[in-house]
Structure formats: C-alpha cells, structure tokens
Amino acid sequence: MAEKPVIYVLNGPNLNLLGTREPEIYGADTLDDIAGRLEDQAQALGVAVDVRQSNHEGHLVDWLHEAQAMEAKAVLLNAGAFTHTSIALYDAIKAIKTPVIEVHLSNPHTRESFRHKSYVGEAAKGTIAGFGALSYALALDAAAKL
Ligand code: DQA
C-alpha cells in the first residue's frame, strides 16, 4: 500500500504550555489534545500528521528543511513569537518548495502592535488565525487539499 502523504505540524516557543498558558487567549486544550484531534482528522483525510514543538528557533529551521527533504506534502507552522521576529524562518520558508501554512490560535492583528508584523506570513502560502484550536483543523483541511 502506498504511504500516506505526511503533513508536518510545527509549533514554536511556549506552545508546550498550552492548556495552562493564558487560557483566556489560547484556550484550555493542551498541545497533546490538539495533536490527538489532528491525528483523527488526518486519518479521515487520508494523510498523516507529524506534530512537533520546540522552544528553539534553529529546530524549527531544521524541521522546515527536513519537511522538504522528506517530501512532506505541506507544513502547518505556528511559530509562536518567532513569527514576529524571525528572518531565519522567513528565509527557510522561502528556501523550500514545500507549502507552508501559517497558523495561530489567536488573531495577532487584534492584539499588541508588535504582533502585527509576521515574517512567517510574508513567506507562507496562507494564514489561518483567530479560531483557537480550530485554526489547526482548518489549516489541515486546506493542506490536505493542496
Ligand atoms: C500565537 C500568537 C503569537 O503572537 C504568540 O507569540 C504565540 C502564540 C498564537 O497561536 O496565537 O506564542 O502564535
């Protein structure tokens, strides 16, 4: 049987604390809760997900390169605060042909002005933000249909 297309779901700094981190902004789900639901959704869509989290910018860069090397179908990237600071992530997204979808739980445009700039969004194929954990589900649906 042919292997299923794989979609990387990469999560940046502080997202390991989902569930207890500012739940009024980010919701009550943990990253494991979100990952479990994405796995079920992926199965129904005929794809596989590889969900990872790191607090280190370089890990995210390495995983973007890996996504291309492993011929991943797409990447969902919630880069956390690196979204707003990281030219290295901008360059990594530009450097690979794998489509990258920017994901956020909150809507950064309705928050502090320092969140309005997104280096990730300037390089990504598209952005889904502001729907809480549902942002990931919507992005996975889009990625599976690319
Ligand atoms: C976030 C939004 C970012 O501004 C913030 O730094 C995060 C989470 C989100 O998912 O809403 O860490 O990416």
Q: How far apart are CA 68 and CA 23, in angstroms?
A: 34
φ, ψ dihedrals at 10, nearest 5°? -100, 130
104: tokens are 């956020």
Q: How far apart are CA 137 and CA 87, in angstroms?
A: 27
What integer pLDDT is reported at residue 129 of this predicted model?
A: 98
| Average pLDDT of the chain, as a whole number | 97
Domain 6-129 bears CATH identifier 3.40.50.300: no
Q: Where are the domains of the chain?
A: 6-129
Distance 65 CA to ligand 1 centre (A): 22
Q: For 69-84, write each residue's pLDDT tens digit.
A: 999 999 999 999 999 9
- Point out the ligand 1 atom lying closest to the alpha carbon of residue 104: 10
133: tokens are 């954990």
38: tokens are 């994405």
Residue position matching structure tokens 């979100």:
34
What integer pLDDT is reported at residue 1 of this predicted model?
A: 59
- Residue with the smallest CA separation from ligand 1 atom 1 is 80
- pLDDT beneath 70, residues of the chain: 1-2
The answer to whether the CB of 99 falls within 8 A of the CB of 136 is: no
What integer pLDDT is reported at residue 67 of this predicted model?
A: 98
What integer pLDDT is reported at residue 25 of this predicted model?
A: 95
Distance 133 CA to ligand 1 centre (A): 12
Distance 45 CA to ligand 1 centre (A): 27
**Annotated catalytic residue, options 8, 104, 119, 136:** 104
- Residue with the smallest CA separation from ligand 1 atom 2 is 80
